[in-house]
Amino acid sequence: MADTGTVRTGPDFRSDNTGAAHPKVLEALIAANRDTATSYGLDDWSKRVQERFAELFERRVRVWPVATGTSANALALAASAPSHGAIYCADIAHVHTSETNAAGFFSGGARLMLMPATHGRFSAETLEQTIAAAGVGLSHRSQPATVTLTQATDLGVVWTPDEVRAVSAVAKRHKLTVHMDGARLANALARLGCTPAEITWKAGVDILSFGMTKNGGMLCDAIVVFDEAVAPALNFHLRRAGQIWSKGRFASAQLLAYVEDGLWLELARRSNALAARIDAGLRGAPGVRLAAPVEINEVFVNAAPELLDALERDGIRYSRRARDYARFVTRCDGTEAEIAQLLAAFARHAAHA
C-alpha cells in the first residue's frame, strides 16, 4: 500500500479497524465525484454493484450498502425475524456481545437466544436440540425465526461449507432464515479457498452481512440478500434506520473498488499471512498458549500477566481482554516489521515471565 501519511507510533495489533482505507477505494471515491447522479441507490454505480455482486455470487442478488457491520446485522436480522421471533446465535457472537441488542431493537422485540459453541461455532445438533426445546406454538415463548452464524467467528475460526450446510439443513427443516455475519468474510474465503457462492447461498445462507471496512474499506459494509422473500421488508427497515444512502454512488463506488480484480481477497490473504507468522512464531514459546486455532487474521493468546504488561511497556498495542488474555489482530496494511517487533518482544520477555 502507498504511504497514506498516517502516523505510526508502534506496532498496532488492536484491531483491523485501525488500518487505512486502501488507496483504490479512495481513488474510486474521487472518480465518482463528478457530474450529477440519481439519488437513493438509483445511480449507475449502485446499479453496477447489483450486477457485479451477481457475478461474484453466481446468481441474482440484492445488495444494499450500509454504514457499519452492526447496521448490516441488525437490519438483516430485523427483516428476517418478527417482533415475537427468536434469533439463534453462538454464545460469543458479536450480535450478542457487542451490538447493544440492535437486532432486538430494530426488529421491535425479537430475542437473541445463545447456543453453546466451540470457538464460536455451534453444531447442527445443538441447533436442533435448541429448537426442539423452544416451545413452538406456545404464546409464552419467542418463536424460532432466524439462525445467525459469524464467518469467521469471534475467535477467528472459519465455518466450512459443509458445516454451514449442516446448520442450514436444520434451519430449513424448521423454516428458519439463515443469516451470516460476514464482517470478516474475505478473511474466511482466503482461508477456505472456496467461492463466495459456496460459503453462502449454496450452503443455505439466505442473507449476508458483507464486511468491507475491516479489510481495507473506508466507510461502508453491505447487506446481500439471496432469499427474495426477505428483500421487501428490508427496504423499509433500512429506510427507517436511516441506512438508505442519498448519495449512494459514493457507497457503491467503494464496494466496486473493493471487489475489483479480487482486491478484497488479495488484502485478506495478506492479513491472514501476517497472523500465520505470529502463530508460527509463538508456537512453543514458554508461558504462551494460543486460545484458538489461528485461521484468519486474529490471534488469541493466553499468557502470564507480566508478559502482557511487558509488551505494553514496549509500545506494542493490542487488545487486552483480561489480565492473562489478549487479542492480536493483523491488518491488510500491516507490515512484516510489526510482526518481527512483536515476536522479538515476546521472545525477550517470555523467558522471564
Ligand X SMILES: Cc1ncc(COP(=O)(O)O)c(C=O)c1O
Contact footprint for ligand X (CB under 6 A): 68-70, 73, 94, 150, 154, 181, 183, 213
- Per residue, the 3-state secondary structure of 289-353, as one string, reads EECCCCCCCEEEEEECHHHHHHHHHCCCECEEEECCEEEEECCCCCCHHHHHHHHHHHHHHHCCC
Buried b (16+ CB within 10 A) or exposed e, 289-317: ebbbebbbbbbbbebbeebbebbeebebb
Residue 6 vs 98, nearer CB to ligand X: 98
CB nearer ligand X, residue 131 or residue 147 = 147
Check if the beta carbon of residue 261 is closer than 8 Å to that of residue 211: no
CB 198 to ligand X: min, Å? 20
Alpha-carbon gap, residue 316 to 261, rounded angstroms: 34
In this chain, which residue has its C-beta nearest to ligand X?
A: 69
Min separation Cβ 63 and ligand X, Å: 17
Would you give the DSSP letter of residue 187?
H
Measured from the CB of residue 304, what is the shortest distance to ligand X in angstroms? 27
Nearer to ligand X, 127 or 183 (CB): 183
Which residue, 131 or 207, is less far from ligand X as judged by CB? 207
CB of 70 to ligand X, least distance (A): 3
Decide whether 46 or 213 has the Cβ nearer to ligand X: 213
Cβ at position 213, least distance to ligand X in Å: 6
Cβ(99)–Cβ(74) below 8 Å: yes
Please state, in angstroms and rounded to a whole number, the distance separating the CA atoms of residues 142 and 87. Answer: 9
CB 124, CB 166: distance < 8 Å: yes
94 versus 331: smaller Cβ distance to ligand X:
94
Residue 155 CB, nearest distance to ligand X (Å)?
10
b/e code 66-101 from CB counts within 10 Å (16+ = b): bbbbbbbbbbbbbbbbbeebbbbbbebbbbbeebee
At its nearest, how many Å lie between ligand X and the CB of residue 136?
29
Count CB neighbours of 154 within 10 A.
25
| Kind and range of the H or E run holding 62 | strand 62-66
Q: How far is the CB of 119 from ligand X (least distance, A)?
A: 13
* Nearest residue to 200 (alpha-carbon basis) of 214, 182, 213: 182
Nearer to ligand X, 196 or 281 (CB): 196
- Cβ proximity to ligand X: between 150 and 271 the closer is 150
